[in-house]
Chains A and B, each alone.
Chain A
Amino acid sequence: MGGLYGSLGIALGALAADRGAIEITSNNIANVNTPGYSREQVSLSENSPVQIGGLLFGTGVTLGQTTSIRDNLLERRLDQENQSAAQLNAFLGPLNQVQTLFNEAGGTGLQSSITAFFNSLIQLSDNPSDPAFRQGVVTAGQNLASAFRQDSANLQALQSNTDLSVQQSVNQINEITAQIASLNVQISGLVSVGKDPGAFLDQRTQLVRQLSGLVAVSETDAGNGSLTITTSGGAALVVAGHSFALSTQINGSTTFHDVYSQGSDITSSVTGGALGGEIQVRDQEIPSILNKLDTLAYNLAISVNTQSKAGFDANGNPGVNFFVAPASVTGASSSFTVAITDPNLVAASSDGTVGSNGNAQALAKLQNQNIVNGQTPANFYSGLIFQIGNDISQAQSEQTAVGLVQQQLQDQRSAISGVSLDEEAVSLIRFQGAYQAAANVVSVVNHLLDTTLAITTT
């Protein structure tokens, strides 16, 4: 090496390196708004010198591997917060609908039907022989039954919708894990030959982010560039180039879909992400609310029936069940029905005469007696309202907190991996200048060569 040709080689190398650096800068600028893109950094390295005689001569510059700038720990933290945020979103979606069903803040919930029923009995006690008042009790009972059935049906519809979401989430998980497995192969292939898999890493990071929005996962670096992913409960999702699809099967007792991994039911161990939130709503929150609604319906029906049978109807006959007797607590609200249609069968009398209001009084007093799990119907229902509101309120608070953490982490990620147009402009100017200088060197060397050749030919 050495001489004019050596200089020409160095200049050509510099041209190539600067052209490559400009390409990388252009790519960064092009992806300034690409979600999940991590900026790439140019790596220029000085070539090894050569010794000629007693002197060392530099041999120019080489464009090394580009490096994607990312903080893997930060990416994991973002995944974790994404799991929490998605779980809370999936939890709050259906529960906000539950909230509108029990709109007691607006005074249009079940409370008004319960109160109207007992008020109709108070009214009947004022004039137990009045056919209109008797009909009023039957109508108020039917309205109450309808309100119970409506609330129960709406809750069950929400449960069914959430079950559908569970199946959709599982399908999305399977699509994403298949893509991640494919990317694992490409990334490990590039890593094995010493190349930077930056773009594929960005894609995989984005997919893992999407996956963590669906289910809580654990990520393990397999060491060769591939990522092993399991659910937080330990069910394998991706190992090297293989993905393990989750499946759903109908549970005979609940009629909803359980989640299976390689033949094992993992429903109860699924946490986090949309799937975790959906399972939480479907299998815990709504059943809990339904159970309380059923408990209220069951105890109301049993107590009213017992008191009805202690009295006499308008014809002087012993009272009969006012509501259809529920077989069990489970399903009591969905089957809540008034058993009588003839207002004369309302057992208002305590002595068999039509003018007696003793039993109507006793029926009306049930509303202030501890007939529902040791509480009055009003207190029990009020407790249910508090539970629903409190669960939503807590989830909303967590959602706000998680949102703030997500925002901060996203800011940190952007500070590390985001593309700054100012930085890229500086790089562009620098590499443009270097390229122009190298081109000038070529021109000068070319001129010198011409001069030299002219000497030899003269």
Chain B
Amino acid sequence: MSLRINPDPAPDLLAAIAANRKERNTALQEISTGRNVNQISDNPAATAEVVLNHIQSSQDNQYLRNISDLQAQGQSIDATLNSTVQAVTQAISLGIEGANGTLSDADRQAVAEQLIGIRNQVLSLANQTYQGNFVFSGTATSTQPFVLDPTQPNGVKYNGNTNTNSIAISQGNSIPINVPGSQIFTNPAGDVLGSLNGIITALQNNSGIVAANANLQQAFTQLTTQRVFYGNSLQQLQATQTFLNSEKIQLAQQENTLVGVDLASSITNLQQSTIATNAILSAAGQILSTLNLLSFLK
């Protein structure tokens, strides 16, 4: 007796059609989404990596937004300090002019008046705000840092604090973002506002002008030294911005490697599965409609 074969090919044909349709749908989904991982189970390890990739990428975007804000703030502060430097430079010139022994009292008073204007300008710059916050009051950003106070030895009272803020600009990398105003404008190593008050008083009293000029020069040196901090910060921000943009590109490339579709491969799969589906449908049509012996009974 010959080996009996399966007389009902329908289940196998249906299974083959279903398998081909599944392959075709997979290829179509890959092409339409541009991804070969469209649900977690498609590639669990790759999806887990993508989760970390997305978190890193999202953090980088936030760091970049912070850097952009910090750059705007830093440039504003740098411009303020630049104006301060120019004002103090002008004050130094006026101080030297006031030290000229040929000047009359009235001339010295006139110079002193000009210096008062400059002092007030510097005071205003020292009380500069950015987005409503005082930028030179340490972390007490809602408090005006500097007020004239004759009871103080240097004629200025600092109401801010000496605390500083740091901010994360990339993962594991924080930079200090401010210098307390007392360190810039009333630093004992070079007191800008105090020395301006000093030269004004010296000119008004015609006493100690040379020493006051020396103090002003020292304050200028101190001011330019402190300004370097913001210049450095801006450079660091720029460098980190470049790094983060580069990292974002790398992360995007990594994601593409993990879950991106190989378009040529997917299109080939689509064509192959389409051909296979058509072939199996054609075969099924022929096989299932084949006559059997009963068809020939008369």
Contacts and interface: CB of A to CB of B under 8 A. Distances in A.
B114 interface: no
Interface in A381-438: 381-383, 385-390, 392-393, 396, 403, 407, 410-412, 414-416, 418-426, 428-429
Contacts, number: 192
B40 A355 contact: no
A425 B297 contact: yes
A264 B291 CA distance: 57
Contacts of B293: 421-422, 425-426
Contacts of B267: none
Interface in B3-47: 4-8, 11-12, 15, 35, 37-45, 47
Interface string A70-112: 0000000000000000000000000000011011111101011
Interface residues of A, number: 71
A119 B58 contact: yes
Interface stretch (B64-72, B102-110, B204-212, B224-232): B64-72
B261 to A, nearest CB: 13
A357 interface: yes
B7 A122 contact: no
A317 to B, nearest CB: 15
Nearest to B67: A126
A387 B44 CA distance: 8
A385 B45 CA distance: 9
Given A105-B47, A418-B7, A378 B139 contact: no
Interface residues of B, number: 58
Nearest to B171: A368
A105 B44 CA distance: 9
Q: Which label, helix, strand, loop or mixed, suits the secondary structure of the A interface?
A: helix
A353 B137 CA distance: 11
A112 B166 contact: no
A365 interface: yes
Interface string A246-273: 0000000000000000000000000000
Given A122-B63, A354-B141, A355-B137, A414 B7 contact: yes
A361 B47 contact: no
Contacts of A364: 168
B131 to A, nearest CB: 7
Contact of B44 (A106, A119, A386, A426): A386
B259 interface: yes
A387 B294 CA distance: 56
Please give me the 3 A-B residue pairs with the lowest Cβ-Cβ distance, nearest first: A389-B44, A355-B141, A389-B40
Interface of A: 29, 99-100, 102-107, 109, 111-112, 114-116, 118-119, 122-123, 125-130, 349, 351, 353-358, 361, 364-365, 367-368, 378-379, 381-383, 385-390, 392-393, 396, 403, 407, 410-412, 414-416, 418-426, 428-429
